[in-house]
Structure 1
Amino acid sequence: MATLIDQDFFARLNALNDKFASSVPSTMARLHDARMRFDVAAPDNGLVGELHQILHTIAGSAATFGFRVLGQQARQLEQRLRVLMAFDAVAPQDWENWMAGLDEYVAWAEMNPKADQYP
């Protein structure tokens, strides 16, 4: 017996895709705002956690909505951040290096978050 297809499934999926796409600019703005508040000499654990949470959310959901590379790059930043979070002390230069990657990611995502290649 053939499985019936929910007639509204694709309409709901498209609506979710549109909702995700429309949220990308504000998500990038949140990342940028957190980055601007970040002090590499004295990182705030709450701010580190906020950055981690935002990146984790992007990494976990972007591909579902057709933003595969956006999600992959978020996952890489998230994994690098987890490494930094594992240490009791991190040199300011190491935070600067990570922030440079975040800056590049946000700038790229602001231009074309659905691009299929990352520089």
Structure 2
Amino acid sequence: MATPVDPDFRARLAALNEKFAATVPGTLAKIRAALDECQSGGDQPSQAALHQLHEVLHGVAGSAGTFGFTVFGQEARRVEQLVRAVLSSHSGWPPVAPEVAKLLAWATRDAKATTFE
């Protein structure tokens, strides 16, 4: 096995993982706020509200796995794709909202869990 060029690599990665973990509650609050904004618009949220929700989910999907939150990232990606479809079609929001709520409930319990239930 090769020795890492940087002997402090694992320590720095662990510090980054801890830093990411500390941001999870704030990220969940952003997802909740975006969901609330989407739900305040009736049957079809505004494009701006959907874009905000998509943006937050996209950020989680792109970074969570790197910092040890693999399933959180995968589920955020799945829900992000649902939101993207609504953004594209300008329809289909009603079944997406419960999926966002389900992601929030799960991640609030344990965003680092290895199974999505």
Alignment-derived partner of residue 97 in structure 1: 95
Aligned ranges 1:18-37 → 2 under 5 Å? 18-37=18-37
Shift of 1:42: 4.5
2:61/2:72 contact within 8 Å kept: yes
1:40/1:96 contact within 8 Å kept: no
Aligned ranges 1:1-119 → 2 under 5 Å? 5-38=5-38, 39-87=41-89, 89-90=90-91, 94-119=92-117
Pick the structure with greater CA Rg: 1
Instruction: Tell me the number of residue pairs that the alignment of Structure 1 and Structure 2 aligns.
Output: 114
Work out the CA distance in 1 between the residues paired with 2:78 and 2:43. Answer: 23
Work out the CA distance in 1 between the residues paired with 2:59 and 2:4. Answer: 32
Residues 5 and 49 from structure 1, CA distance in 2 versus in 1: closer, same or farther, beyond 3 angstroms? Answer: same
Unmatched 5+ stretches in structure 2: none
TM-score (structure 2 length as normaliser): 0.89
Q: CA RMSD in A?
A: 1.5
Unmatched 5+ stretches in structure 1: none
Tell me the amino acid that sits aligned with residue 30 of structure 2. Answer: R
Shift of 1:37: 1.8
Percent of aligned pairs sharing the same letter: 40
TM-score (structure 1 length as normaliser): 0.88
Shift of 1:105: 0.4
Superposed structure 1 runs of 4+ greater than 3 Å apart: none
2:44/2:93 contact within 8 Å kept: no
1:40/1:95 contact within 8 Å kept: no
